[in-house]
A and B are shown apart, each in its own frame.
Chain A
Amino acid sequence: AQSVTQLGSHVSVSEGALVLLRCNYSSSVPPYLFWYVQYPNQGLQLLLKYTSAATLVKGINGFEAEFKKSETSFHLTKPSAHMRDAAEYFCAVSDMSNSGYALNFGKGTSLLVTP
Chain B
Amino acid sequence: NAGVTQTPKFQVLKTGQSMTLQCAQDMNHNSMYWYRQDPGMGLRLIYYSASEGTTDKGEVPNGYNVSRLNKREFSLRLESAAPSQTSVYFCASSVETAYGYTFGSGTRLTVV
Residues of B within 8 A of A108 (CB): 40, 42
A61-96 Cβ-contact flags toward B at 8 Å (1 or 0): 000000000000000000000000000001000100
Q: A43-B103, A44-B103, A90-B42 are in contact. Are A100 and B33 (CB under 8 A)?
A: yes
A47 to B104, CA, bound (A): 16
Cβ of B42 and Cβ of A100 under 8 Å apart?
no
Q: A99-B56, A105-B43 are in contact. Are A44 and B90 (CB under 8 A)?
A: yes
Residues of A within 8 A of B90 (CB): 43-44
Contact residue range for chain A? 20 to 34
Cβ of A43 and Cβ of B104 under 8 Å apart?
yes
Q: Is B105 an interface residue (CB 8 A)?
A: yes
A101 to B101, CA, bound (A): 11
CB within 8 A of B40: which of A46, A105, A107? A107
CB within 8 A of A102: which of B97, B99, B100, B105? B97
A45 to B4, CA, bound (A): 12
Query: Count the B residues whose beta carbon is within 8 Å of the partner chain — how many?
Result: 29
Residues of B within 8 A of A42 (CB): 105-106
A105 to B31, CA, bound (A): 17
Residues of B within 8 A of A9 (CB): 40
Residues of B within 8 A of A51 (CB): 98
Q: Which of B35, B45, B100 has the most CB atoms of chain A within a 10 A radius of its CB? A: B100
Known contacts A49-B99, A90-B42, A104-B59, then 5 further A-B pairs from the complex at CB < 8 Å, ordered by chain A residue: A36-B103, A49-B98, A49-B100, A98-B58, A100-B33
Closest 10 CB pairs of A and B: A100-B50, A43-B103, A101-B97, A107-B42, A105-B43, A46-B100, A105-B42, A44-B103, A100-B48, A51-B98
> Which residues from chain A sit less than 8 Å from chain B, CB to CB?
9, 32, 34, 36, 42-46, 49, 51, 90, 94, 98-108
> Which residues from chain B sit less than 8 Å from chain A, CB to CB?
4, 31, 33, 35, 40-45, 48-50, 54, 56, 58-59, 90, 92, 97-106
